[in-house]
Amino acid sequence: MKGKERRIRMEYVIEMQDVVRNFDRKEVLKGVNLKVSPGEIFGLLGPSGAGKTTIIKILTGQLRCTKGASMILGQDTGALEPFVYRKMGMMMDNLGLYERLSCYDNLKLFAKIYQVPRGRISEVLRQVDLADAAREPVSKLSKGMRGRLALARAVMNEPEILFLDEPSSGLDPQAVSMIHQLIKKEQERGAAIFLTTHNMEEASKLCDHIALLNEGKIVEYGSPKEICLRYNHQNKLQIRLLDGRNVALPNGSMAADEVKDYLEKEMVETIHSTEPSLETVFMELTGRRFE
Amino acid sequence: MKNIIAIFQKQIKDTLKNKSVLIEFLIFPIMSIIMEYSIHIEGMPEHFFANMFAAMYVGMAPLVAMSAIISEEKEKNTLRVLLMSNVKPAEYLIGVGCYIWIICMMGSCAIGISGGYKGKMLLSFLTIIGVGVLVSMLIGAAIGTSSKNQMAATSLTVPVMVVFAFLPMLSTFNESIEKVAKIAYSQQVSILINGIGKTGASAENAVIISGNFLIAVVLFGYAYKKSGMA
Ligand SMILES: Nc1ncnc2c1ncn2[C@@H]1O[C@H](COP(=O)(O)OP(=O)(O)O)[C@@H](O)[C@H]1O
Ligand SMILES: [Mg+2]
């Protein structure tokens, strides 16, 4: 009934509820819950083998979940409608590029499929700084260039949701910073970005929200800052004085006088609170280090 | 339709740079041209080399090409990316299939002309081959679809292709092989080609080729259901 059509304000572009996934008899995802809002950069962090790729594959309809519900743009990911495919872009760890075709021809194929104008090909190639390599066959590209080409393909149709599976793993810092810029640009355009990484620094710099995944369970969720603060047991102020002394004070009203004193005497070189990094939070939660 | 055309065009560019598939398309037409123009033996039947190579071409080129292209796309994950951009499995198969079919028909044309076929005879020659190529493509698609990677596909393709491609030739040397070979579409293609302008098609030819076609469809359906396209 058209008249009774509900006006759905999409609160979340991605939703997973109690998602379980088994491979053979092994439970790889053990009841995953997560939500991603429109236009946010969401980072799924976890060591390799945690189940990050499995989650992306379920969300993009490449795998079914054994139990639970998984939705993208309000659609069950087990039976995605064509319009959803048109609204998403993705870059999996296995990039899926045509080795013998040039960068340009790889993108041209998808420009035709997505029915975007030819001009868009050069535009995205420029965005990932591959304009000069446009005629090179993919087989001649470095790993970083391949990753950038796959990213260019993923954003070609201006997706509403962009899935990036470890977009920066194994790349040189220059390529990484370019990818970060492009991710930010896509967010400004209005896309939601779902990325996985095991790089803590990347996650804290880039993401609005992150979830820590360990052995198929989400063990922590929040903004990078929130998470770090939550684990801020020490909660101290570190003051470095101009005379070279380091002073550590409790971060609270009882330290106010002493801090004020240093400030009035213009003795302070730096002052900051001690917060754990995501890395230490993760180690505390799981008892292991990221590989 | 736009997806089919896009896949078709991609395949033209890709195959031009893919030597191992390209050689499948070219080897028999080239052999046929060389043999037909260089070897003349007293009492040799008309179109001898063209007919022999055409039957082998039907059993080999479309089967190997289809299986190689699909299994490579599965291995490299490109097929998955296509399907995730909303290309339907049928669109993919038709795009690649049309490409292979047209190339094989061009190759067969070269074989036919080198063997001296003209006009109506050439048309019959190409019609028979066109049907045979279709069956071969389906078998290749079944193998490619059921394989995880190119290695797995090749280990299945080679024995299957050898059987279908060489049965017609072996049948000319051995009568008991000929009796068994009759049930294979490639042998039927060979029988039909050798009968052009003489015997014409019988119900038996049609039934056996249709039977082979149906079996290939079922095999492909099974492979698709079991492994999926990507
Ligand atoms: N197709 C599969 N069959 C069996 N086990 C699998 C399959 N895919 C993933 N796994 C297992 O699931 C676990 C999580 O894998 P994955 O999602 O790839 O982790 P991540 O991307 O976080 O490194 C791993 O232990 C892996 O061995
Ligand atoms: Mg992974």
How does residue A282 score in pLDDT terms, banded at 50, 70 and 90?
A: confident
Q: Is the pLDDT of residue A291 over 80?
A: no
Q: Out of A269-273, B117-121, B207-211, which region has the weakest mean confidence (pLDDT)?
A: A269-273
Q: Out of A52-56, A166-170, B94-98, B200-204, which region has the weakest mean confidence (pLDDT)?
A: B200-204
Total count of residues recorded for chain B: 230
Q: What atom in ligand 1 is closest to the CA of residue A47?
A: 22
Task: Work out the average pLDDT over B17-46.
Answer: 88
Whether the Cβ atoms of residue A256 and residue A271 lie closer than 8 Å to each other: no
Q: Is the pLDDT of residue A9 over 60?
A: no
Handedness of CA A257, A261, A264, A266 (dihedral sign): negative
- Which residues, listed in sequence order, are joined to residue B172 by a DSSP beta bridge? none
Task: Work out the average pLDDT over A244-273.
Answer: 84
Q: Is B40 on the interface with A (CB under 8 A)?
A: no
Q: Of A54, A56, A196, which is best to mutate to test ligand 1, by the most ligand atoms within 8 angstroms of its C-beta?
A: A54
Q: Is B10 on the interface with A (CB under 8 A)?
A: yes
What pLDDT does A105 receive?
A: 97
Q: Out of A90-104, A192-206, A222-236, B87-101, which region has the weakest mean confidence (pLDDT)?
A: A222-236
* Helix, strand, coil share of chain A (percent; to 5): 35, 25, 35
Nearest CA-CA partner of A234 in A284, A196, A186, A195: A284
Of all residues in chain B, the one with the smallest CA distance to A107 is B10
Task: Work out the average pLDDT over B144-148.
Answer: 93
The string over A138-157, giving b where at least 16 C-beta atoms fall within 10 Å of a residue's C-beta and e elsewhere, is: beebeebbbbbbbbbbbbbb
Q: How far apart are CA B87 and CA B90, in angstroms?
A: 8
Whether the Cβ atoms of residue B153 and residue B71 lie closer than 8 Å to each other: yes
Q: Which residues of A touch B (CB under 8 A)?
A: 60-62, 82, 85-86, 88, 90, 92, 94-101, 105, 109-110, 112-115, 137, 153, 157
* Among the bound ligands, the one closest to the CA of A165: 2
Q: Is B6 on the interface with A (CB under 8 A)?
A: yes
What pLDDT does A36 receive?
A: 95
* Among the bound ligands, the one closest to the CA of A51: 1
Q: What atom in ligand 1 is closest to the CA of residue A93?
A: 21
Q: Is the pLDDT of residue A162 over 70?
A: yes
- Nearest-CA distance B78 → chain A (Å): 4
Task: Work out the average pLDDT over B165-190.
Answer: 87
How does residue A1 score in pLDDT terms, banded at 50, 70 and 90?
A: very low
Q: Is the pLDDT of residue B202 over 90?
A: no
What pLDDT does B226 receive?
A: 87
* Among the bound ligands, the one closest to the CA of A213: 1
Q: Is A239 close to ligand 1, i.e. is its CB under 6 Å away?
A: no
For the whole model, what pTM was predicted? 0.86
Residue nearest to atom 4 of ligand 1 (CA): A23
Instruction: Using alpha carbons, list the distances in angstroms from residue A189 to A72, A86, A226.
Output: 19, 16, 26
Q: For chain A, what is the mean pLDDT?
A: 88
Q: Is A216 close to ligand 1, i.e. is its CB under 6 Å away?
A: no
Of all residues in chain A, the one with the smallest CA distance to B91 is A113
End-to-end CA distance of chain A: 54
Q: Is the pLDDT of residue A11 over 60?
A: yes
Residue nearest to atom 8 of ligand 1 (CA): A54
Which range among A84-88, A108-112, A217-221, B156-160 has the greatest average pLDDT?
A: A108-112
Q: Is A23 close to ligand 1, i.e. is its CB under 6 Å away?
A: yes
Beta-sheet pairing, A26-36 with A217-222: unpaired
Domain that holds residue B48: 2-227
Q: Is B78 on the interface with A (CB under 8 A)?
A: yes
What pLDDT does A193 receive?
A: 97
Whether the Cβ atoms of residue A235 and residue A274 lie closer than 8 Å to each other: yes
